[in-house]
Amino acid sequence: MKDVINSKNAFTKRLGPAAMALLVSVMGHAESLTATWDSPPTTLADRELAEAQAVNYTVRIQWKDANGMTNRIQIMTAEGEFKTDTIKLDQSKNNDTLPPSLATLSGRLNVLSPEKGRLSLNFDWKTPIVVNTGAANGTNAPSRSYQYISTGLNSTFIVTFGKPLAAQADESTEVTILVKRAEDQ
């Protein structure tokens, strides 16, 4: 032990106190980083337990628009990131077809416990509106121009699996989020 102390003192004298403090700090930081990394299951029992705990979830966003129409988008995912894009064909009151509405749902689901999770969500809904009507190029044929208006929600929530969460409610929109374990459906 005395030899170790003497060699350490000799090493410290060669490096100097500032360099030695930096080395100890870096080594301590590296040890704290490696201690937090999760390693994959190495034994058969650990792998079987990890597979038994792996669960799929459905993430459903349901909303009422300004016209009172109820819409929804749903995706099945495991824990982690997800993304989906979809379209919805709309029809006006006089049966004229409008361009489709566009919906994008993306986010990340982190399971905190068997009952709760953290849901980071980005939801975007684009609806077409008529901005110009008239005759096409001086003819009697009708012409319309459309633009999209965009509404959305970007936030992080703590969700209880199987219990709806009212994420937004105002005069024109109501948004509800529901995350369920696939096995509970």
Query: Which residue, 138, 102, 108, 101, is CA-closest to 122?
Result: 108
Give pLDDT tens digits for 98-142.
Answer: 788 888 999 999 999 989 999 999 999 888 887 777 666 666 666
pLDDT at 156: 96
Four-point Cα dihedral 70, 71, 77, 79, nearest 10: -60
pLDDT at 55 over 60: yes
92 vs 154, higher pLDDT: 154
User: Average model confidence (pLDDT) for the chain?
Assistant: 74
Pairwise CA distance, residues 8 & 4, whole Å = 6
Q: In the Cβ-directed half-sphere of 64, how many Cα atoms lie within 13 Å?
A: 10
pLDDT at 37 over 60: no
pLDDT at 94 over 80: no
For residue 14 the two structure tokens come to: 């060669």
pLDDT at 183 over 80: no
CA distances to 38, 50, 51, 124, 170 from 46, in Å = 13, 6, 9, 40, 48
127 vs 73, higher pLDDT: 73
Which residues have a Cβ under 8 Å from the Cβ of 77 and sit 6 or more positions away?
56, 57, 58, 59, 109
Q: Do the strands 165-169 and 174-181 form a parallel or antiparallel pair, or are they unpaired? A: antiparallel
pLDDT at 87: 85
pLDDT at 19: 43
Task: Band the pLDDT of 43: cuts 50, 70, 90.
Answer: confident
Neighbour order of strands in the sheet with 116-135: 80-88, 101-111, 116-135, 142-160
Reduced to 3 states (helix: H, G, I; strand: E, B; else coil), residue 33 is helix
For residue 35 the two structure tokens come to: 């201690």
Give pLDDT tens digits for 117-128.
Answer: 999 999 998 888
Q: Which one-letter DSSP state was computed for residue 161?
A: T
Task: Band the pLDDT of 178: cuts 50, 70, 90.
Answer: very high
